[in-house]
Amino acid sequence: MITPSSSRTGVSNAQIIAPGATLGVLGSGQLGRMFTIAARRMGYRVHTFSPDQDTPTGQVADREVTAPYEDLDALRAFARDVSVVTFEFENVPSEAVHALDGIVPVRPSGAALYTAQQRGREKAFLSERGFPTVPFARAATRAELEAGVASIGTPIVLKSVAFGYDGKGQHKIMRPGEAERAWNALGKNEILIEKFVSLQAEISVIAARGLDGVVAEYPPFENRHSNHILDLTTAPALVPAPIAARAREIARAILEALDYVGILCVEFFVTTDGDLLVNELAPRPHNSGHLTFDAAVTSQFEQQVRAICGLPLGSTELLRPAAMANLLGDLWSEGEPNWAAACRYPDVKLHLYGKTQPRPGRKMGHLTATARTVQEAQDIVVAARDALLS
């Protein structure tokens, strides 16, 4: 659904970054790879910047720049060769983003990235603007930890405020006496204390906001995790219509509040009481949106290109119900997976990220299936993944 915002201003021809230009992306993983594929299909060139080489993005980009994010001279040189910079990895130091100011547009902005890349700032932003979240407290000292645990009440989850994804930097606490040990394990750094809530579903809304203020959001997707890593996504989410509508409304409002340009994922908890709570923000494409490459009129990656280049946003309509299954490095534990067995399912698409070293828990690729119903798509994609081990 595409929704004009109250702040829509229109985009002049001078503001549009037309096909043929070069787009810069900070980060070089699978999200950047799929962004690059979408951009090149539209006629753009892509340069990627990260500390690594022979990366998933670098393998398909026009140029791969390998340097630390702290190398501000290298970043400035990178910026001078591109027309706009975006992100596929949010944990870029703020100093690196500031180094690009005045050289090239950065979308989303450094201010939006600064808010979304640290859990404490993110939760404060959401709470101060009235968005629904779980009860939480922030703590940077032992006294604040004790006060926060007492005020929230167990069970709780302690989360590091930075560099947390796929369940990293999180500890579930059932009794108050366990909190200090978990805090020690997290390095006695600033943490977020969140009330543990009982869930009926976890959903995500991926949305884009263009340079003209127009917002387009996909229908909610339903996510299932294994060992804190996303395992399976189905679309559309099988949640009551009022919850789906409210989730889309909240996502639009968050984009507005951040004055955001680009693609954003809003992760939600749906509690067993039917409450809808914002869990986290991802200021980039999201794992749960990979299925849009095959199942939507416009993929999240093409939408990111359109948004940052000032082009009109594309349709977010799903062509068919879909399911996506992650492929982790565990599948390689007994040798190369049986790709032919999975590809015998005619409604399944195989995506591999070009990573050469499979490790347990490492995202190596994914499968997407489309079908007449969500359940049928889920059954097909799970069967295809199981066939990889045959």
189 with 215, same domain: the answer is no
In whole angstroms, give the CA distance from residue 307 to residue 310: 5
314 with 363, same domain: the answer is yes
Span 74-120, pLDDT tens digits:
999 999 999 999 999 988 998 999 999 899 999 999 999 999 988 89
158 with 240, same domain: the answer is no
CATH number at residue 185: 3.30.1490.20
Domain that holds residue 61: 2-116
Residue 128 domain flag: no
Confidence of residue 140 (pLDDT cuts 50, 70, 90): confident
Residue 45 domain flag: yes
Per-residue confidence (pLDDT) for residue 362, from 0 to 100: 96
Span 344-355, pLDDT tens digits:
999 999 999 999
188 with 203, same domain: the answer is no
Return the sign of the alpha-carbon dihedral for residues 129, 233, 162, 102.
negative
Query: Residue 73, class by beta-carbon neighbours within 10 Å (0-12 exposed, 13-18 middle, 19+ buried)?
Result: exposed
188 with 204, same domain: the answer is no
pTM, entire model: 0.93
178 with 319, same domain: the answer is no
185 with 211, same domain: the answer is no
Nearest to 193 by CA among 203, 201, 182: 182
Residue 129 domain flag: no
Q: What is the average pLDDT value for the chain, to the nearest integer?
A: 93
CATH number at residue 96: 3.40.50.20
- Total domain count, the chain: 3
In whole angstroms, give the CA distance from residue 121 to residue 293: 31
